[in-house]
């Protein structure tokens, strides 16, 4: 009899507990929903308690990662071009140009930057600083172990120094001999680095939540911004892209809230900033062209007046790398991630006088089975030649101005493994090249 009563009471207790937790779950869900919607009908104390409890799983996860140690997984070994040679030249052509080549070397188990003379494709200098020592000086907690660190779109300066980051990390500068000069860990920087006409550097970054996002208390939202730093690493200017679009009435002021409800925490994804160095009929010196991937749009923005001059959309999807190529044209790298007809990536040119797009060497790119779903860039040379980077597959291709394949490079280590190329760069300035080669000749680094 006693056993029967005990079992019966136990069943009732379990049932009541289940009912209690279901009611608690429904109640807490309602409180959290109201909080994120900004309705806030429930008492602030209750909201704060449930918000704190909701953060526990995430905090445990992040804490355990750092207690156990950084994720030491290396970047993947790429497979698309394993049957190709590391470098193959098809047409002999002297080019007074430098290739800034950031690449992951699986043999070295690290990222390096090589400066390549395109006259003969010889490496004339290599950068590889001590990443572990740099991390000890960074205030932010970053999960970017040396074994998978990647130099991203490194900017080579006239004194032979390099400004770079590892994408969504602090920015830093190293000298010609790879000694650390400075670190900026006031924010998170990513993607391109571009000089402007004043010698300052524009870099995409993430800032503390701007007023339109902070208003809705959206946690972990990627609030992308344009950031200008001086050569010493000091931030001179920053502006949220969402603020720019809302203040120019391109997006409604509840944009951040709507984006959160659609489960999209990275609605902008700024990946390139291209400054204008001269005035033209269509832009002014100091204007910026901004590539925002997740809106498949190019913004022509004037920081001096906070005005969006043009908001360009077209037959491209998830584009990267906008470049000014004449006084009336820009180019962009179209990843071409439409739902249909998306097999190949493309290079497109937009003409401001005709408001029309055209594709450059498209048949040649298709013949090469050229496609990178993310990342990627292009460079149109002064003579009309084209270099493209198939970042997802570690390949560079150069076509001359007739569309003929001049050379092909696949980032193979000595053991044949293929690694990422993380945003290369071409320099064609004769004076810069002569000066840099002089630095290479007169400096002997010991590290």
The whole-number pLDDT of residue 292 equals 97
CA trace torsion 193, 195, 196, 199 (10° rounding):
140
The whole-number pLDDT of residue 16 equals 75
Instruction: Tell me the two tokens of residue 133.
Output: 């020592």
Characterize 120-155 residue by residue with b for buried, 16 or more Cβ atoms within 10 angstroms of its Cβ, and e for exposed: eeeeebebbbebeebbeeeeeebebbbbbbbbbbbb
Characterize 381-415 residue by residue with b for buried, 16 or more Cβ atoms within 10 angstroms of its Cβ, and e for exposed: beeebbbbbbbbbbbbbbbbeeeebbbbbbbbbee
The whole-number pLDDT of residue 2 equals 53
Blockwise average pLDDT, block size 10, the chain, 447 residues:
57 73 68 51 60 53 42 84 97 95 97 97 97 89 84 98 96 98 95 98 89 73 94 96 94 68 77 98 98 96 98 97 98 97 97 98 98 98 98 98 98 96 98 98 89
278 burial via Cβ count (<10 Å: 0-12, 13-18, 19+): exposed
Instruction: Tell me the two tokens of residue 392.
Output: 């997802």
Sign of the Cα pseudo-torsion (65, 68, 70, 71, in order): negative
User: The domain at 87-442 falls in which architecture?
Assistant: 6 Propeller (2.120)
The whole-number pLDDT of residue 64 equals 42
pTM of the model: 0.84
Spell out the domain ranges in the chain. Answer: 2-54, 87-442
């Amino acid at each position: 009899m006693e056993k029967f009563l005990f079992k019966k009471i136990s069943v009732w207790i379990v049932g009541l507990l289940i009912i209690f937790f279901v009611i608690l779950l429904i109640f807490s869900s309602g409180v959290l929903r109201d909080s994120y919607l900004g309705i806030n009908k429930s008492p602030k104390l209750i909201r704060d308690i449930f918000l704190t409890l909701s953060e526990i799983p995430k905090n445990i996860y992040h804490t355990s990662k750092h207690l156990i140690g950084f994720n030491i997984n290396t970047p993947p070994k790429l497979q698309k071009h394993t049957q190709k040679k590391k470098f193959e030249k098809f047409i002999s052509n002297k080019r007074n140009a430098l290739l800034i080549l950031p690449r992951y070397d699986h043999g070295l188990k690290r990222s390096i930057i090589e400066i390549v003379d395109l006259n003969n494709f010889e490496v004339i200098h290599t950068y590889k600083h001590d990443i572990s020592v740099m991390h000890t000086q960074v205030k932010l907690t970053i999960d970017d172990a040396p074994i998978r660190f990647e130099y991203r779109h490194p900017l080579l300066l006239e004194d032979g120094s390099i400004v770079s980051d590892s994408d969504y990390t602090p920015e830093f500068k190293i000298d010609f001999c790879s000694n650390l000069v400075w670190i900026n860990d006031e924010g998170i920087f990513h993607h391109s680095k571009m000089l402007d006409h004043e010698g300052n550097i524009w870099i995409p970054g993430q800032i503390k939540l701007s007023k339109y996002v902070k208003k809705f208390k959206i946690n972990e939202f990627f609030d992308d911004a344009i950031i200008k730093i001086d050569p010493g690493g000091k931030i001179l200017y920053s502006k949220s892209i969402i603020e720019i679009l809302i203040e120019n009435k391109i997006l409604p002021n509840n944009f951040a809230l709507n984006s959160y409800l659609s489960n999209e925490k990275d609605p902008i994804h700024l990946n390139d900033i291209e400054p204008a160095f001269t005035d033209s009929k269509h832009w002014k010196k100091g204007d910026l062209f901004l590539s925002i991937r997740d809106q498949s749009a190019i913004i022509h923005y004037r920081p001096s007046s906070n005005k969006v001059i043009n908001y360009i959309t077209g037959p491209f999807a998830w584009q990267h790398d906008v470049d000014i190529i004449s006084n009336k044209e820009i180019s962009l790298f179209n990843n071409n991630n439409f739902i249909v007809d998306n097999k190949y990536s493309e290079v497109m040119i937009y003409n401001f006088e005709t408001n029309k797009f055209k594709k450059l060497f498209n048949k040649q790119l298709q013949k090469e089975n050229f496609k990178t779903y993310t990342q990627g860039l292009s460079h149109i040379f002064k003579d009309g030649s084209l270099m493209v980077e198939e970042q997802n597959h570690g390949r560079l291709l150069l076509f001359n101005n007739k569309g003929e394949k001049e050379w092909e490079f696949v980032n193979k280590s000595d053991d044949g493994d293929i690694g990422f190329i993380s945003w290369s760069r071409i320099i064609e300035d004769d004076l810069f090249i002569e000066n840099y080669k002089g630095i290479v000749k007169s400096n002997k680094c010991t590290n």
